[in-house]
Amino acid sequence: MTSEIEEMIGEMGYKEASQKAAYAQMLIRRLETVVKAFKTVYEDQIESAETVNINGSPAATITKTRGGDGSWVVEDPKAYGRVLKDIKAAVEEKALPEAWETIPMPREEACTQDYIERLIRDHDGQVPPGVVHKPGRAGSVQIKPDRAFLHQPLTPETISEPFQLTESSQA
**Checking phi first, is residue 144 left (phi over 0); if not, alpha (psi -120 to 50) or beta?**
beta
% pLDDT > 90, the chain: 27
User: What DSSP designation does 48 have?
Assistant: S
Same domain? 115 vs 92 = yes
DSSP 85-131: HHTT--BGGGTBS-SB-SSS-B-GGGGSHHHHHHHHHHTTTPPPTTE
Same domain? 80 vs 124 = yes
**What residues make up the domain containing 162?**
2-67+138-170
Same domain? 60 vs 80 = no
Same domain? 50 vs 77 = no
Q: How many structural domains does the chain have?
A: 2
Q: Which helix (H) or strand (E) holds 78?
A: helix 77-86
Chain centroid offset of residue 152 CA: 29
First-to-last alpha carbon distance for the chain, in angstroms, is: 36
Same domain? 160 vs 120 = no
| Contact between 74 and 83 (Cβ < 8 Å) | no
| Contact between 34 and 143 (Cβ < 8 Å) | no
Same domain? 82 vs 45 = no
Same domain? 18 vs 102 = no
| 59-102 pLDDT tens trace | 999 998 888 889 999 999 889 988 888 888 888 777 767 777 67
Q: Is the pTM of this model over 0.95?
A: no
Same domain? 75 vs 63 = no
In whole angstroms, what is the distance from residue 10 CA to residue 16 CA?
10
Q: How many residues does the chain have?
A: 171
Same domain? 145 vs 163 = yes
Sign of the torsion angle spanned by Cα atoms 131, 65, 151, 19: negative
Taking only the tens of pLDDT, the chain with its 171 residues reads 567 888 888 888 888 888 888 777 878 887 888 899 999 998 888 888 899 998 888 999 999 888 888 999 999 988 998 888 888 888 877 776 777 767 778 889 999 999 999 999 999 999 999 999 998 888 877 777 777 777 777 777 767 765 554 444 444
Same domain? 46 vs 78 = no
Same domain? 93 vs 106 = yes
Same domain? 61 vs 96 = no
| Contact between 119 and 128 (Cβ < 8 Å) | yes
